[in-house]
Chain A
Amino acid sequence: MDEALKKQLQITACKVRMGIIEGVYNAKSGHPGGSLSIADTLTYLYFAKMNIYPDKPDLPDRDRFVLSKGHTAPALYSTLAQRGYFDVEEMKSLRHVGALLQGHPCIHIPGVDMSSGSLGQGISAAAGMALSGKISSQPYKVYVVLGDGEIEEGQVWEAAMFAAHYQLDNLVAIVDNNGLQIDGKISDVCSPYPITDKFKAFGWHVIEMDAHDFDSIEKAFNEAETVANQPVAIIQKSVKGKGVSFMEDQVSWHGTAPNAEQYAAAMEELQNTLKGLEG
């Protein structure tokens, strides 16, 4: 990847992470761990990949994004805010009564293409959008992010079968493999491994990616574009809580908001990261 672009994406991803912490802290609830693990991927998609128009969020030919692991809405909202869909100040009223930003993605929020959050459902809607594009010969792509715990839902595999059967090569599913779910390690709770083999067996083209390396991210999404007649699954190896050291790889940060002290520490760390990048 071009170094200047990479630097810009790293800076933006850091701001996205700050928005996540801001939102979850002010909401006094939410899911920081899995939001932080997808921050780089969402930043890449919204700032370097997707064909989108923040001033015209409903344009029919735009690329679609569905956050199937909807509990990590803070990452999507923070990315959308950075991209200009709405004011970043909205993050402070996340999950508040009467606020724009609901606890899980809601289709009525500018930039949100599908309501989601009940796990396993977003991928089906994404498959429907991809099918729709195919039958109308529209050029758009559909990206959907799933959790690695989420793929324990049976509906995911119904959708996987459907997408392969209808050769939806305009559909890219990203599985956020941070290895943790609420009850513990995914390998301990009810293991969905081997994830790569499962998607291959379902007829998908599978790509493995480092979720915190923009070179790897760019390479994976570029490869996805070359695939014909098959949907693409990108299995991204990620770190839950990435970017805030005390949250990294800790299952306890799946669905816990930081207290004032933790909030200050997290923001200070991210500020320092930002300073280092902007140097």
Chain B
Amino acid sequence: MSDVVKIATRESYGNALAELGDKYENLYVLDADLAAATKTGIFKKKFPDRFFDCGIAEANMMGVAAGLAATGKIPFASSFAMFAAGRAFEIVRNSIGYPHLNVKIGATHAGISVGEDGATHQCNEDIALMRTIPGMTIINPADDVEARAAVAAAVEYVGPVYMRFGRLAVPVFNDKDTYKFELGKGIQLRQGSDITIVATGLMVNEALIAADTLKEQGVSARVINIHTIKPIDREIIAKAAAKTKLIVTVEEHSIIGGLGSAVTEVVCEECPCKVVRIGVNDEFGCSGPAVELLKKFGLSSDNIIKTVKELLGK
């Protein structure tokens, strides 16, 4: 495991933008004084004329993005998830969502893995907020390979897209030569018949570690990566529910309104079975190193293994 490459998906975002900038001349990037942190600075360095800093004014930035999109540009509006989805929510809803404009929102520093900055900057509510906006597509990539592919897919797709990236460097487990990103399609990463672990974002890798450990202990756990939370892949979830009749969801987000809720809704409607949600419970985060916080809040392979074993009575 020592040779595993770790990259933060915010880096993937910045690098993908810089790469795509060559191919798409009408791709523009906006930021709200966080270019060094969101990594849009990588794009700015390469395309200074196509980067616009809006200052610390996220509400206006989202409106400016709407205006750019309404006149044929493809703007990527970037900030921390807390401000992009939180502070600017109503502008995203009314100026981007309602007119269904082709704005891409790159939200970095999502979840508690923001770390030391603490609760004010740890956005565990963004997926819930964005899911309620009609026509909003939501992508939460799991690693560098998937994040870059997601950004490329977002440019091609016409309509508003919310992309969620992290601050913490996370293992790159997808193979860039064989990986295929299909918007709205979940990916089954492990076969399994006893239980299904549905994960998103940086929790996908933890789910894989958990499934592999469980396999050694005689538990057959299916693993599904849901990178597109909206529109969600109903088919892959319903199929898993029918086969394993027990689902655990894992996300670095509140258990209210995020992946767990989305999966539960599908399961209840398509093929009812028990769903247990692992995520941030109904509480705020706190300061600390990201890796320690993930453990503290149960966002680890160990907690997935423990939860699965308890559910299966093992």
Q: Which of B55, B57, B63 touches A128 (beta carbons < 8 Å)?
A: B63
Q: Which of A122, A124, A166 touches B62 (beta carbons < 8 Å)?
A: A124
Cβ contact within 8 Å between A129 and B70: yes
Q: Which of A64, A121, A131, A166 touches B91 (beta carbons < 8 Å)?
A: A121
Q: Which of B28, B63, B75, B101 touches A124 (beta carbons < 8 Å)?
A: B63
Cβ contact within 8 Å between A132 and B55: no
Determine how close the nearest CB of chain A comes to the CB of B152; give it in whole angstroms: 23
A115-B99, A162-B55 in contact; A124/B91 too (CB < 8 A)? yes
Interface positions, chain B 272-286, Cβ under 8 Å from A, are: none
Interface residue? A32 (CB, 8 A): no
Interface size classification for chain B? 20 to 34
Q: Is the interface of A mostly helix, strand, loop or mixed?
A: helix
- Chain B residues lying within 8 Å of A165, measured Cβ to Cβ, are 55
Interface positions, chain B 196-247, Cβ under 8 Å from A, are: none
Cβ contact within 8 Å between B64 and A161: no
Distance A106 CA – B95 CA, assembled complex (angstroms): 10
Interface size of A in residues (CB-CB distance below 8 Å):
36
- Chain B residues lying within 8 Å of A121, measured Cβ to Cβ, are 59, 63, 91, 94-95
Cβ contact within 8 Å between A125 and B64: yes
Interface positions, chain A 108-122, Cβ under 8 Å from B, are: 108, 113-118, 120-122
Interface residue? A146 (CB, 8 A): no
Cβ contact within 8 Å between A132 and B73: yes
Interface positions, chain A 91-115, Cβ under 8 Å from B, are: 106-108, 113-115
Interface positions, chain A 124-139, Cβ under 8 Å from B, are: 124-133, 135-136, 138
Distance A159 CA – B101 CA, assembled complex (angstroms): 19
Determine how close the nearest CB of chain A comes to the CB of B186; give it in whole angstroms: 32
Interface residue? A87 (CB, 8 A): no
Cβ contact within 8 Å between B98 and A123: no
Determine how close the nearest CB of chain A comes to the CB of B75; give it in whole angstroms: 8
- Chain B residues lying within 8 Å of A127, measured Cβ to Cβ, are 60, 63-64, 67
Interface residue? B54 (CB, 8 A): yes
Cβ contact within 8 Å between A159 and B71: no
Cβ contact within 8 Å between A132 and B99: no
Distance A138 CA – B26 CA, assembled complex (angstroms): 14
Q: Sorted from nearest, which 7 A-B pairs have the closest CB atoms? A: A128-B67, A124-B63, A158-B60, A158-B57, A128-B64, A132-B71, A107-B99
Which residues of A are at the interface with B, using a C-beta cutoff of 8 A? 60, 64, 106-108, 113-118, 120-133, 135-136, 138, 154-155, 158-159, 161-162, 165-166
